[in-house]
Structure 1
Amino acid sequence: MRRGLLSVVIFFGMSCSLFAADRPNFVWIMSEDNSVHFMKHFDPTGAPTPSIEALAAEGVTFENAFSNAPVCSVARTTLITSCYAPRIGTLFHRKSFIVPMPPGVKMFPAYLHNAGYYTSNNSKEDYNAIESKDVWDNSSRKASWRNRQEGQPFFHVQTITTTHESSLHFPESDVQNKPTKTDPQTVFVPPHHPQTETFRYTYARYHDRIQELDKQVGQLVDELKKDGLLETTFIFYFGDHGGVLPRSKGYAYDTGLHVPLVIRIPEKFREQVSEKPGSRSKAFVSFVDFGPTVLNLAGVKGARKIDGHACMGMGPQHLMETDESFGYADRFDEKYDMVRTLRKGKYRYVRNLQPFNFDGLMNNYRYKMAAYREWRQLYDESKLNEIQRVFFEPRPAEMLFDVEADPYETINLAGDVAHSDVLVEMRGRLDQYLTSMPDLGFFPESYLAEKAADNPVAFGQSHKREIAKLVEVANLERYPYVEVESQLKEALASDDPWQRYWGLIACTSHGKAALPLAKKIEAIASADPENLNRVRAAEFLAMAVGVNPVPVIKKALADAQTAIEANLILNTVVLLQDSKPGYTFDIKPQDVQHVSGDRGELNRRIEYLTGK
């Protein structure tokens, strides 16, 4: 699935029987919710981070490191499993169901633990897969390398929450009444954001948080030095995904996926690795690669059926290199979307599989931030320019950005003839990822919870051809309607409910151009045996024809079996309520009293729709 210069990874032949003193230690320092854009070491508009820069002076800076998902539980599960979430069923945040690890695969620290390493985590886990018992010796707020046996090698994870999104959940009054150390007039506000006092203050406040994070990194390094461990310990510093200003965390753009990564190389092992202190690498590395890299440096063999590859090693190795990174975004809390993306070299290709489902669709937690609320208000008041409005409007089915020339992805090159060859190549590469895994996201979450939760990987393999067909139907969005009308008719008439499902989504993506299929879609809205298809049909008729969707959707909500299914229906409700022309549904809590399962995300939607 990943094309590299060399595809052979040779594990360094370090036997587990060697003395502990001959084996490296590892510390991961993981900060929450910050992309490369906030640190001067990576971006000239960022804040100074002297402690992280000191690590870089004794190690390597990776300029192209990426989380595979722009939100914590999916990203962290990808990290710990070294597997792509859409392949193993861990793609939704927060999890509505927990899945087993793929057959033959353990969370990678288990391989270290079983090889004699002390493994500790302080303290966030947030996994969407069932953890095996041999992953951690200690995972708690008291976890530390200091609790190991004398001389025992260790792998320790430390999560720093200082930069978490919640640090920007402040009242609007703070803009005037709570000064920041960073001068708001000196910060850079990207072109997709309004150039307002609120946004400048929010950026300045986050620069302050980045600098506080840097101090905490320095304190951890000082503890290792005090313990005499620096010369034997690889230190990884990285962000757990991008963020956290609006349109970063939770969104599959570079601001949501491109993370800072610095790996300090300990003195004892500097002659055994090819990277030199103070170097900067342009090689691409993704979260699926981090676990294999640690295992390779430790000389410990891990699982074979994973998606990642080591990016560093000791000894005369030839390691895989790649210039691409695959990313995914699905449900975040109560808000549904489906985006797949490929960063290859300087280009990012973004495939919006439900492009009418605009980026700024309500997500209660996101909108706790004053900047989000102001941005939406300015849109409603028609006070934004063309670039700033995009967040609240339907997206193209596919987007192509030159991230080097346009780092905030504001100029879509997908329709540019000069980039047509790049577009075709990126389309093909992304489709290879989706069909070869295969990507379970092409089934609704409620269906996966019912049919696939016991063994998502096996389910995916047994439905591989079916998923490939769903990808094919979904891709009808990418072409002019007149070129795909016959295929859309075929999909809507299919015996497979999920081909009908994606045919309906593709029709909604085409909008009024698909009106010749309105009669067929009306029949689906009234009589399709699959509840979610009636909702998707009503969605098309409301957006393209102007037919009132309330009766069909209220009936579908009454027929919903589970909280997951009801929440997916309410995503359509919020979309049709908040986009033009707007429909009134008058949803009440009693409308979903009958559904089974965890109601956490469903209740968020009910709170928003009822104003309570």
Structure 2
Amino acid sequence: MSLSADDRPNVLWITMEDTSPRLGCYGDEVTRTPNIDRLAADGRVYENAFSTAPVCAPSRASVMTGLYPSAIGSHHMRTRTHDREGLPDSYQAVPPHYVTAISEHLRRAGYYCTLNVKSDYQFGEPFTMWDDHSDEAHWRNRPGDTPFFAMFNNTVTHESGMWDLEDGGHIDDPDTDPDAVDVPPYLPDTEPTRRAIARQYDNISESDAWVGRLLDQLEADGVADETIVILWSDHGEGLPRCKRWPYDSGTNVPLIVRWPGETDGETVSDLVSLVDLGPTTLSLAGEDVPRYMHGRPFVGSEVDDSREYVFSTRDRYDEEYDMVRSVRDERFRYVRHYYPERPFVLWIPYRNTHPAMDELLRLDADGELNGVQAQWLADSRPAEELYDLQADPHETTNLVDDPAYEDDLERLRTALDDWRTATGDAERASESEREMRERTWPDGEQPRTATPNFVPNAPGNRARECEPNGGTFEGPMTVSLYCPTQGASIAYAIGSADESQWELYTGPIRLDSDEEVTLRTKAVRYGYEASTERQATFIVH
């Protein structure tokens, strides 16, 4: 499918962090989210949207590539491990050579693409991904009426926003009444836990005001009716047994799509994975979805059947190695543990800063946890878990040994096995992180992208030889750019460094007669170090 430039919609991604669907449009009566609810009233609310991983970096890598984390080597959280003794040295994930980010696909299609401001993809921050990646990035900076793809990220709802002041959080009493919140049964119902959840409601309210400002800016600029707005969170909220765990509590996220003329205040129960977000955006922009992507469009004319399953992963998070895989359908969740001999709760100091986690550890040491709370603090874990989400939404009653659910258990086991084979998870995840780092960074060194070169198409040199230093040619002529690094993205600029911006190279650069032009070029393959810059001057007669 291809759309003309005039028909291409703008796309705005509004990204929250560590947020479960505690929103008014999802039926939460404690929250205060008038702006998000306003967006939902004109859009479509997805009740069953799930992240591919219950932490930010693997999830965001998946969103930006349309591939599952283990398929691109981004499944460990994080690849920057230099401060953790005994772990592999810091590295960047190196995706397969054909992988290109959603934003770069859209840049090639003529979109002005901006990120404000968090990236966290684990394969570095390739300079070709965005026209502007900064805290000033905004669609308002685009040239003319160029269609835009703008991504804004808000960190207010991050897990750390629930901490106490001495740990970088809050000291004031929350505006939300702690007595009004619901405490999930696997957490201790204590004052610190309730205050932490109340703070999350306050942070969501603050984020809602930020969402309102973005929506108002669309209206003020006269582009609201031409812009598809997609609001989502990278994973579930930062409570213990939520964030970092592939249960509903860690992977079920808000997802709201407003597409003027196409969506209008409806709520749907279709299963959606955040791996689908990029392919959906490409499809709505009139671009073909590359067949290597695992995601599929869930909005628009390219939608096929709805998903039968969503999948999520857990691997090394911070200091501790783990490996968990999970599959969910519309009713059941199946969880497979590859380290069943280990406890659920591994040593992650950052997580242990959370007031609710501090309460769990305190009560566990005192022997005062109840049965449901103690399950997660046990010395070992089951090899498999199966939950009926209709009867047990908090996933506390494991049905693996119940013969009444044997058929569902076998069906989900098979679905997970098939997914692992089809996506390469079975192969990639069997490789240790140290082995993966050595394979992708031989001898512990980050590969470097080769410096691209200039290939003139002019009388005397019909694209036969590189001309790294430029020269004098008869015009008109074109100059192609060549980089021998497989899968490298190439950029160029016309003019000196202080008067030009990098443009994504998509085809030969035309130079007319009677011109003297300075061309600059450099390249990057995702996960590699960017090349050095090459500059040359072409004089055209």
The answer for the alignment partner of 1:83 in structure 2 is 67
Q: 1:398 to 1:452 in 2, by over 3 A?
A: farther
Structure 2 residue 286 is the aligned partner of structure 1 residue 286: no
Specify which structure has the higher proportion of helix: 1
Partner of 2:338: 353
> In the alignment, what sits opposite 1:450?
438
How far the C-alpha of 1:307 sits from its partner, in A, is 0.5
Match of 2:25 in 1: 41
Q: How does 1:200-599 map to 2 (within 5 A)?
A: 200-266=194-260, 270=261, 273=262, 276-314=263-301, 317-393=302-378, 394-439=380-425, 440-452=428-440
CA distance in 2 between partners of 1:43 and 1:335 (Å) = 36
- Quote the offset at 1:69 in angstroms: 0.4
1:106 aligned counterpart, secondary structure: coil
Aligned to 1:152: 146
Structure 1 counterpart SS, 2:399 = coil
Secondary structure, aligned partner of 1:442: coil
Gaps of 5+ in 1: 1-10, 455-612
Shift of 1:94: 0.7
Does the Cα contact within 8 Å between 1:355 and 1:396 map onto a contact in 2?
yes
Change in 2 beyond 3 A, CA 1:318/1:258: closer
In the other structure, the counterpart of 1:67 is 51
**How far does residue 101 in structure 1 lie from its aligned partner after superposition?**
3.0
1:19–1:172 Cα change, 3 Å? closer
CA distance in 1, matches of 2:398, 2:24: 27
Distance 1:177 1:149 in 2: 45
- Tell me, in whole angstroms, the C-alpha distance in 1 between the residues paired with 2:394 and 2:416: 21
Task: Report what 2:41 is aligned to.
Answer: 57
Deviations 1:70-109 (A, max 9, x none): 1111000000010011122111111142133323221011
Shift, 1:356, TM fit = 2.6
Cα distance, 1:408 vs structure 2:
1.3
Segments of structure 2 that go 5 or more residues without pairing to the other structure are 80-89, 443-541
The equivalent of 1:517 in structure 2 is none
Cα 1:98–1:174 shift into 2, 3 Å: closer
d(CA) in 2 for partners of 1:246, 1:54: 31
Q: How far apart are residue 42 of structure 1 and its match?
A: 2.0
Distance in 1 (alpha carbons) for counterparts of 2:282 and 2:401: 43
| Residue equivalent to 2:499 | none
The AA in structure 1 aligned to 2:61 is: T
Higher strand residue share: 2
1:108 aligns with 2:102: yes
RMSD, matched Cα: 2.0
1:132–1:357: structure 2 CA closer, same or farther, 3 Å change rule? same
The AA in structure 1 aligned to 2:411 is E
SS of alignment partner, residue 449 of structure 1: helix
Report the 3-state secondary structure (helix = DSSP H, G, I; strand = E; otherwise coil) of the residue aligned with 1:113: helix
Q: Which amino acid aligns with 1:278?
A: G
Kindly state the Cα deviation for residue 132 of structure 1 after the two structures are TM-superposed: 4.4
CA distance in 1: counterparts of 2:167 and 2:51, whole angstroms = 34
Report how far residue 174 of structure 1 moved.
12
Q: What amino acid is the match of 1:407?
A: P
1:124 aligns to 2:114 (yes or no):
no
TM-score (normalizing by structure 1): 0.68
For 2:77 and 2:305, locate their aligned partners in 1 and report how far apart those are by CA, in whole Å: 30
Pairwise CA distance, 1:334: 1.0
Alignment CA distance shift 1:190-1:304 (3 Å): same
Distance between the aligned counterparts of 2:300 and 2:167, measured in 1? 51
After TM superposition, give the deviation of residue 290 of structure 1 in Å.
0.4
Task: Select which of 153, 157, 164 maps to 2:158.
Answer: 164
Q: Is the partner of 1:35 in helix, strand or coil? A: coil
For residue 401 of structure 1, give the secondary structure of its aligned residue in structure 2.
strand
> Deviations 1:261-293 (Å, cap 9, x if unpaired)?
001112xxx1xx4xx301112111111110110
- C-alpha displacement of 1:392: 1.2
Per the TM alignment, residue 138 of structure 1 is displaced from its structure 2 partner at its CA by 0.5
Secondary structure of the residue that 2:373 maps to in structure 1?
helix
CA shift at 1:31, angstroms? 0.5
Residues 159 and 318 of structure 1, relative CA distance in 2, 3 Å threshold: closer
Q: Secondary structure at the match of 1:65?
A: strand
Partners of 1:40 and 1:115 lie apart in 2 by 37
Residue by residue over 1:7-54, the C-alpha shift from the partner in whole angstroms, topping out at 9 and shown as x without a partner, is xxxx4x42xxx243x220000000110112x22322536513111111
Letter matched to residue 286 of structure 2: G
How far apart are residue 62 of structure 1 and its match? Answer: 0.8
User: 1:130, CA displacement in angstroms?
Assistant: 4.7
2: CA distance between counterparts of 1:19 and 1:155?
13
Q: Is the 8 A contact 2:73 2:94 kept in 1?
A: no
Q: Deviations over 1:122-174 (max 9, x none)?
A: 01111122554432000111110011011000000000111011112214899
| Residue type of the alignment partner of 2:40 | A
The alpha carbon displacement at 1:215 in A equals 1.1
TM-score when normalising by structure 2:
0.76
Distance 2:162 2:344 in 1: 20
Secondary structure at the aligned position of 1:238 is classed as strand
Identity rate of aligned residues, in percent?
A: 38
The one-letter code matched in structure 2 to 1:161 is: T
The CA deviation string for residues 51-74 of structure 1, in whole angstroms up to 9 with x for no partner, is 111111111111111110011110
User: Residue 523 of structure 1 aligns with which residue?
Assistant: none
